[in-house]
C-alpha cells in the first residue's frame, strides 16, 4: 500500500522513531536510484526546496522543482491530473500548497508517495527536523517541555503532534484569537497529551527545555500584518524571556525569521540558539522520511 505523509501522525510512534533513525544513517538505501521526485511549490521556499532536493540526490534520485505557474494547480489543470501526470515520471511527489485538501486530492489520484511540504494545516517535515534536533540536544525526550510562543499556525500544530508522539510536554502561548481551534486540539489530544494553552509567554517558558517560535504573519496572511504586529506585541522572545528556560534550554525557529518581531537578533544569534542545526536537519529528516516511504532499510 502506498504511504503518503500529510501530518506527523500519519506515522505510528514506532514509525516516527524509525524515520528519525533513518535520518541519522550516513549510508542510506538508494531508494530513488534511477527515479525522479517532483517538488511542486505554490509558495516560496528556501529550506524546504533545497533540503528536499539534496535529500533526493543523496538517495540516488533526480529532483525536479516546479513553480506554480508551470502547472497551474486547479487553474490550468485539476490537481488530480497534475499528480497523475507527475506520477508518470517520478517515484514520489512533494507539494507545498495553500489548501491542505489539494495534497489529499493529489495523493488519492496516484500510487506514488505524496509528501506535504507545507499546507495551511500542517508542516510535518519541519516537525521531523525539529524532533531530530531536540534528540541530538537532549537524547531521550520523555518529559522535556517545549514552549511555543506565537501564532498557533501549521508549524505549531505539527510540532505539538510530534511532541505528543515523543512524550514531551507542549505549551503554547498566543494572544486570544490566534490559538489552536478545537479540531487542532482534538488532533493533538488524540496523540495522548494535553497541551498547555496560555496567553502568557512567561508562564509557557517557565522551566521549559525548548522555546520555539515562528513568524507572526505567515505566507498568504500579508494583509493582516498590521493587526498581527499589534496582537503579538507582547510575545517577542528576548533575553529576559529566555531566562525562564531551564539552564540547558535552547531556542528554535523554523525560519525565515523576522528579527525584532517574534524574537530579537541577540536570541537568534545567541549561544542557546539551534536554528542552523535545525535548518540542516531538514535535509536529514527529509531523507529519513523518503527512505521510510519508499520501503528502504
Ligand atoms: N521552514 C521552512 O519551511 O522554510 P522555507 O519556507 O524556506 O522552506
pLDDT along the chain (297 residues), means of 10: 97 98 94 97 97 98 96 96 98 98 98 98 98 98 97 98 98 97 98 98 98 94 94 97 98 98 98 98 98 89
- Report the alpha-carbon distance of residue 62 to residue 36 in Å, rounded: 4
Distance 276 CA to ligand 1 centre (A): 13
Q: Which of 68, 98, 121 is the last residue of a domain?
A: 121
Cβ–Cβ under 8 Å, residues 63 and 86? no
Distance 8 CA to ligand 1 centre (A): 17
CATH number, domain at 115?
A: 3.40.50.1370
* Annotated catalytic residue 214: yes
Distance 2 CA to ligand 1 centre (A): 26
| Residue having the nearest C-alpha atom to atom 3 of ligand 1 | 48
Backbone angles phi, psi at 2, to 5 degrees: -70, 130
Please tell me whether residues 238 and 150 are part of one structural domain: yes
Please tell me whether residues 253 and 137 are part of one structural domain: yes
Domain membership of residue 290 (yes or no) is no
Domain membership of residue 89 (yes or no) is yes
Please tell me whether residues 117 and 155 are part of one structural domain: no
Domain membership of residue 212 (yes or no) is yes
Residue 198 C-alpha cell reads as: 496560555
Please tell me whether residues 82 and 145 are part of one structural domain: no
**Model pLDDT, residue 211:** 98
Distance 154 CA to ligand 1 centre (A): 12
Domain membership of residue 3 (yes or no) is no
Strand-pair category, 36-41 with 90-96 = parallel
| Residue having the nearest C-alpha atom to atom 5 of ligand 1 | 45
Given the residues 163, 253, 254, 284, the one annotated as active site: 254
- Report the alpha-carbon distance of residue 172 to residue 167 in Å, rounded: 16
Q: Which residues line ligand 1 (CB under 6 A)?
A: 45-48, 118, 126, 254-255
Given the residues 105, 123, 193, 274, the one annotated as active site: 123
Q: Which of 94, 121, 148 is the last residue of a domain?
A: 121
**Model pLDDT, residue 297:** 62
**Model pLDDT, residue 220:** 87
Please tell me whether residues 71 and 140 are part of one structural domain: no
Domain membership of residue 12 (yes or no) is no
* Annotated catalytic residue 193: no
| Residue having the nearest C-alpha atom to atom 1 of ligand 1 | 254
pTM (2 d.p.):
0.97
Domain membership of residue 214 (yes or no) is yes
Please tell me whether residues 220 and 86 are part of one structural domain: no
Identify the domain containing residue 111 by its residue range: 31-121
How many domains, the chain? 2
Cβ–Cβ under 8 Å, residues 146 and 171? yes
**Nearest atom within ligand 1 for CA of residue 43:** 6
Backbone angles phi, psi at 281, to 5 degrees: -65, -15
**Model pLDDT, residue 296:** 78
Given the residues 96, 193, 228, 274, the one annotated as active site: 96
Please tell me whether residues 159 and 216 are part of one structural domain: yes
**Nearest atom within ligand 1 for CA of residue 44:** 6
Given the residues 105, 209, 253, 282, the one annotated as active site: 282
Please tell me whether residues 261 and 137 are part of one structural domain: yes
Please tell me whether residues 70 and 138 are part of one structural domain: no
* Annotated catalytic residue 123: yes
Please tell me whether residues 182 and 196 are part of one structural domain: yes
| Residue having the nearest C-alpha atom to atom 6 of ligand 1 | 45
Nearest residue to 257 via CA among 272, 243, 267 = 267
Please tell me whether residues 102 and 172 are part of one structural domain: no
Distance 117 CA to ligand 1 centre (A): 9
Amino acid at each position: 500500500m502506498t504511504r503518503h505523509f500529510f501530518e506527523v501522525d500519519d506515522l505510528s510512534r514506532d514509525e516516527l522513531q524509525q524515520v528519525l533513525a533513518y535520518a541519522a544513517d550516513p549510508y542510506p538505501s538508494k531508494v530513488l536510484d534511477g527515479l525522479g521526485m517532483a517538488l511542486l511549490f505554490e509558495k516560496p521556499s528556501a529550506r524546504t526546496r533545497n533540503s528536499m532536493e539534496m535529500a533526493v540526490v543523496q538517495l540516488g534520485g533526480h529532483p525536479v522543482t516546479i513553480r506554480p505557474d508551470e502547472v497551474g494547480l486547479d487553474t490550468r489543470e485539476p490537481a488530480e491530473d497534475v499528480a497523475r501526470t507527475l506520477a508518470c515520471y517520478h517515484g514520489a511527489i512533494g507539494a507545498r500548497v495553500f489548501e491542505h485538501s489539494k495534497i489529499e486530492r493529489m495523493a488519492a489520484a496516484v500510487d506514488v508517495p505524496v509528501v506535504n511540504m507545507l499546507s495551511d494545516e500542517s508542516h510535518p517535515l519541519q516537525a521531523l527536523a525539529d524532533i531530530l534536533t531536540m534528540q541530538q540536544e537532549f537524547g531521550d525526550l520523555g518529559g522535556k517541555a517545549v514552549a511555543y510562543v506565537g501564532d498557533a499556525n501549521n508549524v505549531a500544530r505539527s510540532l505539538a503532534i510530534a511532541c505528543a508522539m515523543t512524550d514531551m510536554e507542549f505549551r503554547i502561548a498566543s494572544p486570544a484569537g490566534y490559538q489552536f481551534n478545537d479540531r487542532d486540539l482534538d488532533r493533538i489530544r488524540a496523540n495522548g497529551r494535553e497541551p498547555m494553552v496560555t496567553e502568557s509567554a512567561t508562564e509557557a517558558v517557565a522551566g521549559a527545555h525548548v522555546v520555539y517560535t515562528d513568524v507572526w504573519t505567515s505566507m498568504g496572511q500579508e494583509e493582516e500584518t498590521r493587526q498581527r504586529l499589534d496582537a503579538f506585541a507582547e510575545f517577542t522572545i528576548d533575553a529576559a524571556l529566555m531566562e525562564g528556560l531551564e539552564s540547558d534550554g535552547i531556542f528554535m525557529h523554523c525560519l525565515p525569521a523576522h528579527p525584532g518581531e517574534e524574537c530579537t537578533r541577540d536570541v537568534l544569534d545567541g549561544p542557546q540558539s539551534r536554528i542552523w542545526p535545525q535548518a540542516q536537519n531538514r535535509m536529514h529528516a527529509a531523507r529519513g522520511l523518503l527512505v521510510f516511504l519508499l520501503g528502504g532499510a
